[in-house]
Structure 1
């Protein structure tokens, strides 16, 4: 059973040691992500994490350890029961999940990486399966919105991106899973919204229940839509 949901992005810039020159600028986002993660720990000491990554489909268990050495700082994290040497190839969502776990004091996390092209039907099936799980757990959804929002975006802005981003932000603010499950995969690709599948799985996993929502952060400081929210 999913007891609580937290939504957050997973850029490495969340880790202050990696962005010493921009740590102040990114602090509001970092603070919101830590707060959202902390609410999960209050409800469950184990989290299930879903995120999109090129390494997917893949499940990474609590025994994993990793390092941010690929980003210039040998900062190690683990998913709760990590032993042995850190894996230098651990995907970024797992690294961020481990970093948030440590700050929130969760016992362990399991990370499920989704392929970037996971179709809506498969998202529905996976979300339904997560919702039916027997254990009381927290669900951490690591996902970005469009990366074509402003001139600071990594690719040229698209006039359709603000509306797409606003639909996600509104859904997270109101606790409404329907707009998340209705995201258009083709449009998401065009708008560089790489977190689409994670949002759709979350929408399916939370459908049919009433959620009390709190939007903690919603902005695009680097031209990418970052939204942080909690659902209870």
Structure 2
């Protein structure tokens, strides 16, 4: 059963070494993520599952001990998902799960075993919900750390340039995530999310499926669009 969830954005810029001189601009987001992970720890789960967007090579299950790296950004930062594994997993973590691993290491997570799940952008809402239901029954007490960004089209300088629909999409997503509105998350516009490059859509809908019968309440801890990209942090308990 799902007992808690944290929703965090997944830009590698959250890692200060990657952000370099711009690191202070995301200090508030990092603090909110730390607070959200505190809610997960307080729930004392038997299993933590990290869910995040992934390209083809990163989709599927990433077992505890899987490693990731930010060396592609020119920094000497490596991370590991949870505790060390006897047999080192071969596949590297996708960046969304690597950011999650960095957050968990930063907060000293040691409360429960951890595994990761990379989901593709095209995963249909019904399948997302089904995956969420499957995750929720993997242990007696399951917590989710759900990674993903909102639109990348909030300003003319944003990676996706300005799209007038972006602010409305992001506002509805933030409202649903902040209030644990499972029904609203399930009906997020898939096509619009694709156009706006909102990587969190599928992971958020996995969360919706996992939380169907959990009766959790939500809190919005952060919502902003630095660099013209929508970032949302929320905690469910």
TM-score interval for Structure 1 and Structure 2 normalised by the shorter chain = over 0.9
**Counterpart position of 1:90:** 93
**Counterpart position of 1:162:** 167
Matches within 5 A, 1:7-18: 7-18=7-18
CA RMSD of aligned residues (A): 2.0
Secondary structure of the 1:48 match is: strand
Q: Deviations over 1:172-196 (max 9, x none)?
A: 2212111111112111111111221
Q: Measure how far apart 1:210 and its partner are.
A: 2.6
Tell whether 2:181 aligns with 1:179: no
Q: 1:173–1:85: structure 2 CA closer, same or farther, 3 Å change rule?
A: closer
**Counterpart position of 1:48:** 49
Please point out which of 195, 206, 215 is paired with 1:190: 195
**Structure 2 CA distance for aligned equivalents of residues 112 and 96 of structure 1:** 13
**Structure 2 CA distance for aligned equivalents of residues 202 and 88 of structure 1:** 24
Contact 1:97 1:109 in 2 (8 A): no
Tell whether 2:125 aligns with 1:123: no
TM-score (norm 1): 0.92
Q: 1:86–1:207: structure 2 CA closer, same or farther, 3 Å change rule?
A: closer
Matches within 5 A, 1:64-75: 64-75=66-77
Q: 1:115–1:56: structure 2 CA closer, same or farther, 3 Å change rule?
A: farther
Q: 1:21–1:85: structure 2 CA closer, same or farther, 3 Å change rule?
A: farther
* Structure 1 residues without counterparts, runs of 5 or longer: none
Q: 1:80–1:158: structure 2 CA closer, same or farther, 3 Å change rule?
A: same
Q: Measure how far apart 1:134 and its partner are.
A: 3.0
Q: 1:58–1:149: structure 2 CA closer, same or farther, 3 Å change rule?
A: same
TM-score (norm 2): 0.90
- How many residues are treated as equivalent by the alignment? 232
* Structure 2 residues without counterparts, runs of 5 or longer: none
**Structure 2 CA distance for aligned equivalents of residues 56 and 85 of structure 1:** 16
**Structure 2 CA distance for aligned equivalents of residues 101 and 92 of structure 1:** 14
